[in-house]
Amino acid sequence: MAQIRFLVFLMIILCFEYVDCIRDMAEMYEKYQKMFHSHDPVDYHVHHHNHHNHHKHPHKYHHSNYTYDNQEEWCTLPQDTECCGTHQSPVRLDSFIKPVPMKPFEFINYKMLPWNVEIANNGRTVSVFFNNVNAQVKGGGLKHTYNLYSLIFHWGSEHVVNKVRAPLELQLIHYNSKFSDVHSAVESGEPDALAIIAVFYWLGRDAPEAVHTITSELTKVWYKNKMDYIPPFNLRELLPQSTTHFYRYNGSMTTPNCNEVVVWTVFKDPNFISLIQLKKFYAVKTVTKRPAYGPDSNMNLLHNYRKTQELYNRTVVLGEVTVSKFTDTEIPAVTVEEVKTSEEIETS
């Protein structure tokens, strides 16, 4: 909480000359309150807030009770799930299909450094949230413009290509920009309410700086239910060098309630992570604290991926675009240097 108070204080200083900024500050504070008061902040985007049931069984919507060991039971969880539907994710992909030309992707504000980035461990994955980055994606065969909401990591990968599972898959969760937030997007039940972009990470020496920024901060969220702040990084670096080929299909969220509201984009080319960095993910814990006796190495979070699901009547398309466009439409609200300067102001 001290950090929040500090951030609000920081914003007051920075807001000095901008009235609009005061409103942003209020919004941001509200968001924090929500996050810190929900039981499972990392998961709140996957809850199906069916209002009728919500009132009947309020507690059931705030205690996700699934594990990667009981995947078969996901569709019989107390809350309504779509986990046994016919448009589920992840799926097996096959690279030997004919590419279909599509309009280029446009990634907006992906190069802008978001200065206020949070990382969290919910015992099943590690997620990253942004509070002031207006990053969007459109094109690439998507029918709408989508806002970036969060990043989720799975080690190993959820999607499997030619029967091979990558060591890591990063999922960039976006929601249709016509919705006010990710919850209303999921609640809408629209089959393309969310656009998730997945990136495979293979072992390699030239991992981008952005990956280093994230993995070197993982110890802050070693244990379940930990949340913390991490330094800004360049989102573009998290995507593969080449974004010209990608798998496209209609699917679902890969955790309960498995809502079938997702247009998937899985880039064919991978990005890279070093073994040392990957091991930092393997060391993340499923428990809230170190046990009283013995080592906690058997509480490491491993294999946090969902098994591949049947395609049924769906088809997977291999999209092909020319070079993707990366445009920054906004001057960052605050630059890293400015944040440093106001820290100095505070301490002086």
Ligand X SMILES: *[C@@H]1O[C@H](CO)[C@@H](O)[C@H](O)[C@H]1NC(C)=O
Site residues, ligand X (CB under 6 A): 63, 65, 70, 86, 191, 248-250, 312-313, 315, 317
Single-letter amino acid code for the residue at 198: A
**Measured in Å, how far apart are the chain's first and last C-alpha atoms?**
22
Indicate the residue among 53 and 274 with the shorter CB distance to ligand X: 53
- CB of 67: closest distance to ligand X in angstroms? 8
Q: How many Å is the Cα radius of gyration of the chain?
A: 20
Nearest to 197, CA basis, from 154, 247, 233: 247
Tell me how far apart the alpha carbons of residues 135 and 105 are, in angstroms, rounded to a whole number. 13
Minimum CB distance to ligand X, residue 76 (Å): 10
Q: How far is the CB of 125 from ligand X (least distance, A)?
A: 18
Q: Measured from the CB atom, is 146 or 272 closer to ligand X?
A: 146
CB of 63 to ligand X, least distance (A): 5
Give least dist CB 42 to ligand X, A: 17
Nearest approach in angstroms of CB 130 to ligand X is: 28
- Closest to ligand X by CB, 58 vs 295, is 58
Choice between 65 and 322, CB closer to ligand X? 65
Whether the CB-CB separation of 150 and 130 falls below 8 Å is answered with yes
Cβ proximity of 272 and 201 under 8 Å = yes
Smaller CB separation from ligand X, 134 or 188 = 188
Contact 198, 149 (CB under 8 A): no
Report the candidate in 138, 258, 278 with the shortest Cα–Cα distance to residue 197. Answer: 138
Pairing of strands 194-203, 262-267: parallel
Nearer to ligand X, 315 or 329 (CB): 315
* Under 8 Å between Cβ of 202 and 166: yes
